[in-house]
Amino acid sequence: MLSKMEMGNIYRAIYTSGRDVASASITAYFPVSDPAGEEPPVPIFSTTLDKKTADEADWNADRAELEVDVLPGLWTETYVHPDYK
């Protein structure tokens, strides 16, 4: 499963890329058993971070602190799989 740190790393890469990004969304997928015994990857966690909110981040802060503490407080959780709430 994509960890919050990895998700923060992706947002950091997006918003420090020099590109004009209005909004970014990330969805983490994880294999979940279905009734047929298959384990297809399904979305378990989705977030969005818009430019206005991203501009509040100190992108020069300590990388671990930024990715683990700061960014999760800024992004918006748009979906959490019921089994992971």
Decide: residue 38, CB within 10 A, 0-12 exposed, 13-18 middle, 19+ buried. exposed
pLDDT bin (cut points 50, 70, 90) of residue 26 is very high
Which tops the pLDDT comparison, 5 or 20?
Answer: 20
pLDDT bin (cut points 50, 70, 90) of residue 1 is low
> Could you tell me the residue ranges of all domains in the chain?
4-84
Average pLDDT of the chain?
A: 91
**Phi and psi dihedrals of 60, rounded to 5?**
-95, 0
Across the range 17-38, mean pLDDT stands at: 91
This prediction has a pTM of 0.85
